[in-house]
């Protein structure tokens, strides 16, 4: 069986920090450091549609083990640069997820076309977890993947979470625009009897609609 792909997600509310410094730090130091690290497949930045001071970065990894390698540890944790320590200490952490991809196999984020992304993390009640996973795998992800404008639908099991809900499951949907996840086709895919049965059995829902970040020149 192939080793599952990994995912690293880092989310901040950076409103306490000057926008130009936050973007300079991410664009000129933080992202390039990780892009050079073996095992990092891609590095993407996103900003909240409703609140553009919400920043989410997503990193597809060859496997979750990449985060334990000497190359990554040399730039992370206690070895963060002084600039990284100063900026991250000034921001409010929304989430940090280390996860393995569950569905649909080892598929990285689409290389082109995604102007938006929906992030959805949640926890099922223990007694509903089997049904929750069956719903996600058999109905929910396939249905949303088929919605026009959805370029990919992936779900992940979170192994290490820093978030208010200590989340255990995550889904990422790459979209051609933020409007896709409020379209009639999306609503039809979501509003099913199985969904209505599962929804009350979930907690700690974290849902953020995002636009792709583009650096101002």
Distance between CA atoms of residues 68 and 36, nearest Å: 15
Distance between CA atoms of residues 166 and 186, nearest Å: 27
- Residue 101, C-beta contacts closer than 8 angstroms, at least 6 positions apart: 4, 5, 6, 7, 107, 154, 155, 156
Give residue limits of the domains in the chain.
6-212
Per DSSP, 52 falls in state T
Question: Per residue in 166-183, pLDDT tens?
Answer: 999 999 999 999 999 999
Is the predicted pLDDT of residue 216 greater than 90, yes or no? Answer: no
Percent of the chain residues topping a pLDDT of 70: 99
CB-based contact 127:203 (threshold 8 Å): no
CB atoms within 10 A of CB 108: 15
Domain 6-212, classified CATH 3.30.70.100, yes or no: yes
Label residues 204-214 b or e (16+ Cβ within 10 Å = b): bebebbbbebe
Name the pLDDT band for 76 (thresholds 50, 70, 90): very high
Question: Per residue in 105-143, pLDDT tens?
Answer: 899 999 999 999 999 999 999 999 999 999 999 999 999
Q: What is the pTM of this model?
A: 0.97
Structure tokens at 6: 């990994």
Distance between CA atoms of residues 97 and 162, nearest Å: 6
Percent of the chain residues topping a pLDDT of 90: 98
Structure tokens at 121: 């993390």
Label residues 170-198 b or e (16+ Cβ within 10 Å = b): bbbbbbeebebbebeebeebeeeeeeeeb
């Amino acid at each position: 069986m192939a080793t599952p792909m990994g995912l690293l997600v880092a989310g901040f509310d950076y409103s306490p920090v000057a926008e130009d410094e936050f973007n300079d730090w991410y664009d000129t130091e933080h992202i390039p450091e990780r892009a050079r690290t073996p095992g990092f497949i891609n590095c993407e930045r996103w900003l909240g549609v409703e609140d553009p001071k919400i920043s989410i970065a997503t990193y597809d990894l060859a496997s979750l083990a990449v985060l334990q390698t000497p190359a990554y540890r040399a730039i992370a944790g206690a070895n963060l640069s002084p600039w990284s320590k100063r900026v991250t200490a000034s921001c409010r952490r929304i989430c940090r997820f280390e996860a393995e991809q569950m569905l649909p196999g080892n598929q990285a984020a689409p290389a082109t076309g995604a102007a938006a992304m929906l992030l959805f993390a949640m926890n099922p009640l223990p007694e509903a977890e089997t049904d929750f996973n069956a719903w996600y795998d058999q109905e929910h992800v396939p249905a949303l993947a088929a919605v026009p404008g959805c370029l990919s639908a992936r779900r992940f099991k979170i192994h290490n979470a820093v978030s208010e809900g200590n989340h255990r499951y995550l889904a990422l949907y790459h979209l051609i625009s933020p409007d896709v996840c409020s379209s009639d086709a999306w609503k039809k895919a979501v509003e099913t009897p199985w969904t209505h049965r599962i929804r009350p059995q979930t907690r700690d829902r974290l849902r953020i609609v995002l636009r792709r970040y583009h650096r101002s020149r």
